Amino acid sequence: MNGCCGEGSKLEGASIALVGNPNVGKSALINRLTGVGAVVSNYPGTTVEILEGMCDSCGKKFRVADLPGIYSLHGKSEDEKAALHYLKSNKIRAIINVIDATKLERNLFLTLQLLNTGIPVVVALNMHEEAKNKGRKVDAGKLSRLLRTPVVEINALRGTGNEALIKNSFKAMAGKKSKGIFSKSGSEAQLHARAASIASKATRMSEGSAPSHGEWLDRLTTSPVSGIIIMFAVLGALLASLFIVGGGLANIIGSLFGTYAAPPLLSTISLVPNAVVQEMLRFMFVDGINAGLQIVIPYVLVFYFVISLLEDSGYLPRMAFLLDKVMQRLGLHGKAVIPMMLGFGCSVPAILSTRVLPSSRDRLLTTTLIMLIPCSARTAIILGAVGVFVGWQYAVLIYALILALIFITALVLGKMLPGERMGFIMEIPPYRIPDAKNVLAKTWLRVSDFVYVAFPFVFVGSGLLGGLKALGLLPLILQPTEPLIVGWLMLPAAAGITLVFGVLRKELALEMLIVLGGSANLLSFMTPLQIFVFALVAAIYVPCIATIGVLKREFGWKKCISISLSTIVIAVLLGGIVARLFPMLGLLS
C-alpha cells in the first residue's frame, strides 16, 4: 500500500475517519496508510489534535483522518466533543472503527454509538492475536453478523489486513447510508448491556491458555514500591539520553556547521553592502540556524524518539497511573506528568504534548507549570554559571526554589482556575515490543511539527535583535530598565541586555554575559550573589521566543501574554527578594 503526502499544510475534510478508544492502534494504522504524509492540525475552535493524510490504495486516492481516542460520542471531554463535531461537520463517507479484541466489550460501547451516526461503519478488529494468547478467540464473522456491519481482522503495527479493510470501506461508501440499527434513545446502561451481550456471543474462551506476555512486568511497574523505583530509573535514563546522546549530537552538528556551513554563509553575507542588513542576516542565517541545528533539534529529536519508544511499549500510561494521586493533590490530571517530564528537555514539545489532557483547564494549568520547569537550556545556565563559579550546592538550591515555586503555583492556580476537574480515565495497554517503523514515523511527524512552529520565530527574533544591535539601539531601549536590573535585582547593567537575548535562546543569555563582561570568569565582574540571582531570574522567566510562538498557537495571544508576563513578574520579584534576603541569612554575602 503506497502512501502519498497530504496537500498543503492542512488538509480540509476527509473521506474516511479512524475512530476508536485510546491505545487501540489508530496511530499505527494511519502511519501504515499514509506513510509519513500525515499532517497534524487542530480542530477549529479547540486544542484537539487531528491527524490527516492522503492514502493511495487499490488505484484510488482518498483522505483519511485519525480522530482522538475517545470512549463515547456523548462525553464531556474536549476530545469527545471534537470527534462528534468532526463527524457531523465534515464530509465523512465512511468510519473505520478500530477496536481492541482484548477489550471487546468496552470498545463495542463506542461501536454501537457509531452505528447510529448514519455513516457507514467498518470495524477493524486489532490485537486479535493478543486476545488469543489470553484465551479469547473473537469470531470476526459472527461479530459482523451481530453488528450487521463488516468486521476485518488487522494487525495495525505490521500492516496486515489493511487491503481488505480499505476494500470493505470502499464498498461501504458505495452502499446506502445506515439509518442506525440500534435505538438512539437507549441509555448508557442499555448500550453497555448490548455491548456485553454481543462481546459474549462473539467470543469463545479456551481452557489452559498461556498467560499474556508481560503480566509480571505489569505488576512490577505498577506496584507502589517497585513501580516508583523503576519510574525514577526510567526518568533518569531519559534525562541521561538527552544530555549524553542529545549533547553528543549537538557537538557534532555544531562542529560540522562551524567548519563547513558557517564560513560560506558569512562570506556571502559579507557581500551585502549595508552593515545593518549584514548583522540581521548573520543573526538569522548563522546564529539562528546554529541555534536550531545545534541546540534545539538534537534534544528534540532524541526526546521524541525515546518518548515514542516508551509510548509504543505501553509504559507511559503506567507512569501516569503511579503519579495520579500526587497530581490530583496539585489540582492536575494524572496525565500531566508526561508533559511536565518533557519540560526538563524542551518547553516547546512539552507544551505541544499537553494535547493529551482531557480539558482546557488541565492544559492551561499544566502549561503554566511547564513554563517554570528548567529546560535543558536553562539547566546549562544554572550549571554553567552557579555550578561552576558559586558551588554545586547553590545550583541544587536553585532547583529546590523552582520546585517549591511550581508546587505553590499548582496549589494556587488549581483552586482559582474555572472548569471542571476531569477524573483520571486512561486505558492501560499491554506491554508490546515497539515497531521500528511506527516509532520512526511518529518521531518524524512530531519533530517536523516542532520545526514548523518554532523556527519562524527563531529567525524573526534573531533578525530583529541583530538589527537592534547593529543600529546601537539595544542600550537605548534597555536604559529605562536599569532601575529594575541595577536597583532591584542588584545586577550589572549589562545583565539587562543578556536577559533580552535570553528570550531568543536561553543559553545565549550566559554567552552574552561573558562577551559583555569581557571574561569567561564571571567572578571577575560579578559577585557570587549576583551570579546566583542572574541564574535564578534567567531560569524562571519566559523560556524563549519559540515557546512564546507555541503558546500563541495553542492558547491565543491573550493567554500567551498573560502567562509570559506572569513568569517575568515572578522571576523579578523572587530575584530581588533573594538579593536582599541571602545577605541577611549570611549566604553569599
- Same domain for 381 and 456: yes
- Same domain for 192 and 279: no
pTM: 0.61
Examine residue 219 and state whether it is found in any structural domain, yes or no: no
C-beta atoms surrounding 463 within 10 Å = 20
- Same domain for 245 and 205: no
Choose one of 189, 212, 235: the last residue of a domain. 212
- Same domain for 300 and 154: no
Question: What is the spatial distance between Cα 72 and Cα 491, in angstroms, rounded to a whole number?
Answer: 56
Instruction: Give one DSSP letter per residue of 348-368, joined into a string.
Output: HHHHHGGGGSSSHHHHHHHHH
> In this predicted model, what pLDDT tens digit does every residue of 320-362 receive, in sequence order?
778 777 777 777 777 787 788 778 767 887 887 787 777 788 8
Residue 355 C-alpha cell reads as 494535547
pLDDT at 344: 75
Report the 3 state secondary structure along 446-467. HHHHHHHHHHHHHHHHHHHHHH
pLDDT at 574: 95
pLDDT at 100: 92
Give the mean pLDDT per block of 10 residues along the chain (589 residues).
Answer: 40 72 85 66 50 75 85 77 79 89 91 90 90 84 93 88 88 65 59 88 71 69 87 81 76 84 90 88 77 67 83 81 76 77 78 78 90 82 83 88 91 77 61 82 77 70 76 78 90 83 74 66 90 94 85 89 92 95 88
pLDDT at 380: 74
- Residues 554, 360 contacting (CB under 8 angstroms): no
- Same domain for 238 and 204: no
- Residue carrying the nine cell digits 442499555: 190
* Angle of CA points 560, 565, 570, to nearest 5°: 130
* Residues sharing a CB contact under 8 Å with residue 487, sequence separation 6 or more, in sequence order: none
- Same domain for 106 and 48: yes
pLDDT at 46: 43
Total count of domains within the chain? 2
- Same domain for 169 and 237: no
Choose one of 185, 212, 239: the last residue of a domain. 212
- Same domain for 143 and 278: no
Choose one of 183, 212, 241: the last residue of a domain. 212
The DSSP secondary-structure symbol of 115 reads: T
Examine residue 589 and state whether it is found in any structural domain, yes or no: no
pLDDT at 448: 78
- Same domain for 243 and 158: no
> In this predicted model, what pLDDT tens digit does every residue of 434-450 receive, in sequence order?
888 888 887 887 777 66
Report in angstroms the alpha-carbon separations of 537 from 64, 496, 507, 559. Answer: 47, 11, 13, 22
pLDDT at 43: 42
- Same domain for 292 and 161: no
Examine residue 265 and state whether it is found in any structural domain, yes or no: yes
Question: What is the spatial distance between Cα 64 and Cα 83, in angstroms, rounded to a whole number?
Answer: 14
Question: What is the spatial distance between Cα 397 and Cα 456, in angstroms, rounded to a whole number?
Answer: 35
Examine residue 69 and state whether it is found in any structural domain, yes or no: yes
pLDDT at 457: 66
DSSP H or E segment with residue 28: helix 26-34
CATH number, domain containing residue 120: 3.40.50.300
Examine residue 217 and state whether it is found in any structural domain, yes or no: no
Instruction: Give one DSSP letter per residue of 377-436, joined into a string.
Output: HHHHHIIIIIIHHT-HHHHHHHHHHHHHHHHHHHHHHHHHS-SPPPP-----PPP-PPPH
- Residue carrying the nine cell digits 468496552: 106
Domain of residue 106: give its range: 2-212
pLDDT at 531: 93
Q: Sign of torsion, CA 70 76 77 82?
A: positive
Q: What is the Cα Rg of the chain in Å?
A: 27
- Same domain for 256 and 198: no
- Same domain for 293 and 192: no
